[in-house]
Amino acid sequence: MQTDSNNLCAHYDKCGGCSTQHIDYKTQLKKKEKMLLEIFEDNYLDTENYEGIIPSPEIFEYRNNMEFSFGDLKKGGILQLGMHPRGKRFDVITVDKCLLIDNDFRIILKAILDYCREHNFKKYHIKTRKGFLRNLVIRKGINTGEVIVNLITTSQNSHDFTALADELYNLEYRGNIVGFIQTINDNFSDTVVSEKEIIYRGRNYFYDKLLGLKFKINSLSFFQTNTHGAEKLYAEAEKYVGSSKGKNVFDLYCGTGTISQVIASKADNIFGIEIDKEAVKMAEENAALNNRENCHYIAGDVLEKIEEINIKADLIIIDPPRPGINPKALEKIAALNTPEILYISCNPKSLARDLTELDFSGYKIKSFKAVDMFPHTKHLETIVLLNKED
């Protein structure tokens, strides 16, 4: 779906999921560029080698992954399933007409909400720690059409969701539903934690493709949320890296192994480090799927595991979480004196902080560009190529 930014989402005046939908898309891009360059300049980083911003291929229905919350709009009110309204952490508004998500997501959200209302299930209250329903995660392989649905609940009800699974499988989608799962999460934090998994139908993973390669992804592992945007991002990263032939590549915070398998496929060796053990298993399976015999994956913290690799890196690829890199881990990365670092970031502020530290260690910005993966939000991906000066 491509639509004019003046044609606003039905939930836009209340939902906090996006904040700039009222602004023309070209203007959004200009504002993001301005924000990025100002952050760099405020941190005394060189912006001469900035190469512009690449727009998202789609500006609506681009998300392949959504985590919705169960809740209400007032105490004791009717059950809602969706997003938190702007400025309200504990309230939830149903977003069954959201324009950022695929229509299959809207169909599934409505069916599950109707089912849960009919059975009078109660939302989980994070303060009282009572209740049943916590979250709904829906993921879709945009290039394969495969959809998986993960209903996250507490263990405070032993309901059998077979009937709901059958109902979901009988609905009409653009894609193809391949799995319905219930994840039990009694953790006190607001983060989705898998303590037990029940597969009612199908499987707990799906496949998607990026630039000709196939990737297996489970319901909770990291994968770029904008598939066609990720293809743009990785294609640009590959241009920066050039030929990886004959090189040893470290892929830090590697997730399911997508980046290095796409952009450094001809390397002699790829060593990936990822703290999520399940993601490491997926990375190993993906390497086998794509005949990448040069890939080796290590489960653990970059701070500790980077010392276990006894081969000198010719290129380091870094794609950390939003907070950026642990300062002690960054010291170890800089101390490797690798000729090139490719830093991919979804947070310009933590990126600028880390680039400042790398600059002190002799790493200079050779070139950088932005890729808009998140239209109608303030978020932005940035690719930076760094060279080590003698």
pLDDT digits (tens, 9 = 90+) for 14-28: 887 888 999 999 999
pLDDT band of residue 304 (cuts 50, 70, 90) is: very high
pLDDT digits (tens, 9 = 90+) for 66-119: 999 999 988 889 999 999 988 777 899 999 999 999 999 999 999 999 999 999
Most confident of the following: 3-7, 15-19, 43-47: 43-47
Q: Residue 1: its pLDDT value, please?
A: 47
Percentage above 90 pLDDT, the chain? 81
pLDDT digits (tens, 9 = 90+) for 126-180: 888 899 999 999 999 999 999 999 999 999 999 999 999 999 999 999 999 999 9
Mean pLDDT of 269-278: 93
Q: Give the residue numbers marked as catalytic.
A: 346
Residues 6 or more apart in contact with residue 344 via CB below 8 angstroms = 233, 237, 259, 317, 318, 319, 381, 382, 383, 384
What the block records as the tokens of 241 is 């890296």
Q: Residue 4: its pLDDT value, please?
A: 46
Which SS3 state, helix, strand or coil, does residue 165 take?
helix
Which SS3 state, helix, strand or coil, does residue 39 take?
helix
Judge whether residue 289 has pLDDT over 90: yes
Average model confidence (pLDDT) for the chain?
Answer: 93
Q: Residue 6: its pLDDT value, please?
A: 54
All structural domains of the chain: 25-58+226-388 (3.40.50.150), 65-207 (2.40.50.1070)
Q: Residue 159: its pLDDT value, please?
A: 96
The structure's pTM equals 0.92
Mean pLDDT of 319-336: 95
pLDDT digits (tens, 9 = 90+) for 116-140: 999 999 999 888 889 999 999 999 9
Q: Residue 222: its pLDDT value, please?
A: 81
More confident residue, 191 or 57: 57
Q: Is 278 exposed, middle or buried (0-12, 13-18, 19+ CB in 10 A)?
A: middle
pLDDT band of residue 29 (cuts 50, 70, 90) is: very high
- Closest among 8, 37, 44, 88 to 364, alpha carbons compared: 44
Mean pLDDT of 267-279: 93
Judge whether residue 3 has pLDDT over 60: no
